[in-house]
Structure 1
Amino acid sequence: MRLEELVKKLNQEFEVKAYGADPAFKRFLPAAYESVSFDWEAAFEEEFTSYFNGLMIRGASEVEQVFLAVFPTDHVLERFIKEGKPGDLLFMHHPLLMECGDPQGEWRRGFVPIQPGLIEQLKEKQLSVYTCHIPLDYHPSLGTSAAMAAALGMTVTDGFLANDRGEHLILIGEIEEINSPELKETLQSVFSIPYVDCEGPSLEKIRKIAVVAGCGDKVEWMEEAEKKGAQAYITGEIHCHIDSEYGRERFSKMMAYASGTGMSLIGVSHAASEYLVKKTLMKDWFEQNMGLNTTLLPQEKWWL
């Protein structure tokens, strides 16, 4: 398949231009690369430097295979460079690595740029990179939260944090009755993670849940979910473990809320929560709609 055709279909499916510049990465990407004195505007595609979504690095003109990942960790990029052939495309959620920290380990750095040497290797091998952040999060049928809802057998009944078309970032709905310990076991299996991060009470009966991929560690979001009747709040990160004043302030605010909430709060890791859509909905979309082979690139460590 021609790269131009695939990029056009992806841009249309996710309405990349309609969203404008990505609100997170228009701030964090320039800062990350400027911190290492790297000319990111020259390295990346011109349209990407305006929207911070879409085709980031242009490779050869014919795409045979799509690789699927969340963050551009060294491990992920090294595998892509080793296994990819000229023209292959890496479809990621983030154009930067985000080190969120490990609830059972170290606090980490937050946003980290791709090593310039790896960017050069991608270009030398004529590999393409396409990233899709906010447009993927909000997509009603291919979204990160939509994938979580589908995997948990959730019937969506409500939501909040809507975009201009009324599509919700946070989804609320009904599942088959389950208790908190069973829900934690289910989540470890669904997301293929060694452990979850938990706060709040352990409940005997859970029927209504809220789901949001990524960093859901915002107290105001949790409060709104609880007002809407959610008994469990499932997200990537319930705590911020970024080793900075910002991270410690977020952590403290979250702990104050957790001490009084009636919801079970469960984190499955930022990366794993967003990888789910890649190994389910997006894998099927590329194979069934685009006729392309796919290769999954899971992270070497989910709590990073």
Structure 2
Amino acid sequence: MAKLNEIIQWCDHILKSHEFKDYAPNGLQIEGDAEVNKILCAVTASQDAIEAAIEQGANLLLVHHGYFWKGERYPITGMRGKRIKRLIQHDISLLAYHLPLDSHPTLGNNASIADLLELENIEALDPSERHPIGNIGYLKQPMSATDFKHYVSTRLKFDVTHLTAEKASIQKIGYCTGGAQDFIVKAAEQNCDAYISGEVSERTFYEAKELNVHYYACGHHATERFGVQRLGKAISEQFNIEYSYFELNNPI
């Protein structure tokens, strides 16, 4: 077992969570047992993930998407109330890291995408950011836009949506996991051949065409499965406790 407060302190330090201005609180969101015997990792603190934690006897649920987002209503009722009630009933803590987990240079979602796609010479998508949320990487060899779609789809195991541009080949790639489709503008400013994110909007079709940057929508969930697994493994090794990953194949 490991102490909950020590795990939180370690994660906050490693991820530098206090240095981020985020859309939801990073760190401990629901406090359960003071001693952690097992961690369950999931992308989102859904009801299914909570039930999996209960079934597996985990008393720490580690997620990328937790609760208490800006703009949400304050009352803990309805769907969110049911989720939180189950966590409290079973003394399960909820630990969530959003932008700090996207950004981390080795544990993060973006770092995972770079490794999966074997990108090199990693740079910040926005050089003005202290902790870059998006990045740029380079393929070892240029690919056609069609071949790159197949390559990304195979590596991420997701049916990628490709919005085409005029560039004949792709080598310099901007990327930011999740719902960062609007960063295609930053990718264009950095003269990227292509840009990868999770989601796509109606306006993105026109932006890809007019900015001349190929856009690949690779799934919000599919692009953010990896950070919590890397963090869970790191916690497990640091504190010698068991962890597992819960996969709910969200097609979005």
Quick check: TM above 0.5?
Answer: yes
Query: Out of 83, 89, 96, which is 1:131 matched to?
Result: 96
Correspondence 1:137-152 to 2 at 5 A: 137-152=102-117
Structure 1 SS opposite 2:51 = helix
Structure 2 SS opposite 1:173 = strand
Between the two proteins, the alignment pairs up a number of residues equal to 243
Q: Output the CA distance in 2 between the equivalents of 1:75 and 1:202.
A: 43
Q: Output the CA distance in 1 between the equivalents of 2:115 and 2:239.
A: 22
Correspondence 1:47-58 to 2 at 5 A: 52-58=25-31
Structure 1 SS opposite 2:177 = strand
Q: Output the CA distance in 2 between the equivalents of 1:54 and 1:196.
A: 32
Structure 2 gap segments, 5+ residues each? 70-77
Query: Out of 44, 48, 62, which is 1:91 matched to?
Result: 62
Shift of 1:97: 10
Structure 1 SS opposite 2:197 = strand
Query: Out of 201, 207, 226, which is 1:257 matched to?
Result: 207
Q: Output the CA distance in 2 between the equivalents of 1:264 and 1:97.
A: 34
Structure 1 match to 2:156 = 191
Going from structure 1 to structure 2, the CA distance change for 1:146 and 1:163 (only over 3 Å counts) comes to: farther
Q: Output the CA distance in 1 between the equivalents of 2:128 and 2:170.
A: 28
Structure 2 match to 1:13 = 14
Structure 1 match to 2:249 = 300
Structure 2 match to 1:247 = none
**Does 1:201 find its partner at 2:151?**
no
- State the TM-score, normalized to the length of structure 2: 0.85
Q: Output the CA distance in 2 between the equivalents of 1:278 and 1:60.
A: 21
Structure 1 match to 2:228 = 278
1:169 aligned partner, one-letter code: I
Structure 1 match to 2:41 = 68
- Asked whether the equivalents of residues 178 and 221 of structure 2 are also in contact (C-alpha less than 8 Å), the reply is yes
Q: Output the CA distance in 1 between the equivalents of 2:240 and 2:127.
A: 32
Structure 2 SS opposite 1:301 = coil
Going from structure 1 to structure 2, the CA distance change for 1:5 and 1:163 (only over 3 Å counts) comes to: farther
Q: Output the CA distance in 2 between the equivalents of 1:198 and 1:157.
A: 23
Structure 2 match to 1:227 = 189
Deviations 1:120-170 (A, max 9, x none): 111111111100112222222222212211221111342233576x33211
Shift of 1:89: 0.9
Q: Percent identity over the alignment?
A: 21
Going from structure 1 to structure 2, the CA distance change for 1:300 and 1:144 (only over 3 Å counts) comes to: closer
Q: Output the CA distance in 2 between the equivalents of 1:262 and 1:285.
A: 39
Shift of 1:83: 2.0
Going from structure 1 to structure 2, the CA distance change for 1:189 and 1:84 (only over 3 Å counts) comes to: farther
Structure 1 gap segments, 5+ residues each? 26-51, 99-112, 240-250
- Asked whether the equivalents of residues 283 and 294 of structure 1 are also in contact (C-alpha less than 8 Å), the reply is yes
Going from structure 1 to structure 2, the CA distance change for 1:180 and 1:256 (only over 3 Å counts) comes to: closer
Q: Output the CA distance in 1 between the equivalents of 2:214 and 2:68.
A: 28
- State the TM-score, normalized to the length of structure 1: 0.72
